[in-house]
Amino acid sequence: MKRAKSDRSWRSLVIAAPYLWLLLFFLVPFLIVLKISFAQSAIALPPYTPVFDFSAGWRGIENFFENLSVGSYRLLGSDPLYLLSYVKSLEIAAFSTLMLLAVGYPIAYGIARAPRRLQAVLVVLVVLPFWTSFLIRIYAWMNILQRDGPLNQLLMTLHIVRQPPVWLASDTAIYIGIVYSYLPFMVLPLYAVLEKLDQSLIEAAADLGCPRWKTFWLVTLPLSSPGLLAGVLLCFIPIVGEFVIPDLLGGSRTPMIGQTIWMEFFGNKDWPAASAVAVVLVCLLVTPIVIFQHQAMRKAERD
């Protein structure tokens, strides 16, 4: 049938366009990163060997494999800078995710319990700063946290501190910047589940003699766990690889892993090392996603 045939060609076009694009500009680049992470640093352009030499044919490919090296990965293990960098990234991501939960949950809960008409406005208010530039929001905090900036001026006027404390170039500033920037990503998924939460469940718990704090612990919190998990993943993973916030607000003692990649690449021009750091980071980040997926699948099977 002619009609069915033209339908099929439409179909394959719809799949092929985005598929090929992603293969070429997402998967292939990542494979190149993987390949270069096994190469050796060199002073050349591009600054690594071996370069894949197609013109040499089979010999070129053999040559390529002979010269592969795990040197970059060995470097990762031997230089404590990398290990410390990973640990610091995970630490900051973990603590700031917890802070985001502590700050974001009450906000999400408050919005979900607000009158219907107000809810839409409040959601827009939470999302709106996200539309202004990420960089600008971090920059705003650079203004506030300066040595003689508005925060210190306020603290001095209120006689809370006598000497202006140093905020910038510290982990505290990084935490402030992260919580500020990622707050919508925590609030929105939490709001989405809390808003759907059947109010009569809370009333049923109260009716059955459950005090309010216990109702929250036994009913509200377990039922909001999908949003909780989504919010945690949505924040934790990008925070681990964060570059801009620690670069502008943080100190220079221990860089986060995003900064390390940036420095290896732009500063030291050690592309194989930068690639190896990136590969390890991806492996680190993929693990929680795979675990999450696996559990979601098992849950789907049980239901």
Partner 1 sequence: MRRVTWFNLCAIVLGIAFLYLPIVILVIYSFNASRLVAVWGGWSTQWYAQLAGDTAIVGAALMSLRVAFVSASLATLLGTLAALALVRFGRFRGRLLFASMIYAPLVMPEVITGLSMLLLFVAISVDRGFWTVVIAHTTMAMCFVAVVVQARLADFDMSLEEAAMDLGAPPLRTFLTVTLPLILPAIVAAWMLAFALSLDDLVIASFTTGPGATTLPIRIYSEIRLGVKPEINAVCTIFIAVVGIAVLVASLLTKLTGARGTSARIEP
Q: Scanning residues 43 to 62, which ones bind partner 1 (CB under 8 A)?
A: 46, 52
CB of 83 to partner 1, least distance (A): 18
Cα separation, 208 vs 199, in Å, equals 14
Q: Omega before 129 cis (within 30°)?
A: no
Q: Scanning residues 166 to 195, which ones bind partner 1 (CB under 8 A)?
A: 180, 183, 187
Q: Scanning residues 227 to 286, which ones bind partner 1 (CB under 8 A)?
A: 233-234, 237-238, 240-244, 247-248, 258, 261-262, 265, 271, 274-275, 278, 281-282, 285
CB of 131 to partner 1, least distance (A): 5
Do 87 and 281 touch, CB atoms closer than 8 A? no
Query: Cα torsion for 169, 172, 174, 175, to the nearest 10°?
Result: 180
User: What per-residue string of b and e applies to 227-251 under the rule 16 or more CB within 10 Å gives b?
Assistant: bbebbbbbbbbbbbbbebbbbbbbe
CB of 45 to partner 1, least distance (A): 9
Do 191 and 112 touch, CB atoms closer than 8 A? yes
Q: Tell me, what DSSP letter sits at residue 41?
A: E
Residue 91 or 247: the one with the smaller Cβ distance to partner 1 is 247
Task: Kindly write out the interface string for residues 3-42 of this chain, putting x where it contacts partner 1 by CB under 8 A and - elsewhere.
Answer: x---x--xx--xx-xxx-xxx-xxxxxx-xx--x------
Q: Scanning residues 65 to 124, which ones bind partner 1 (CB under 8 A)?
A: 103, 106-107, 109-111, 113-116, 122, 124
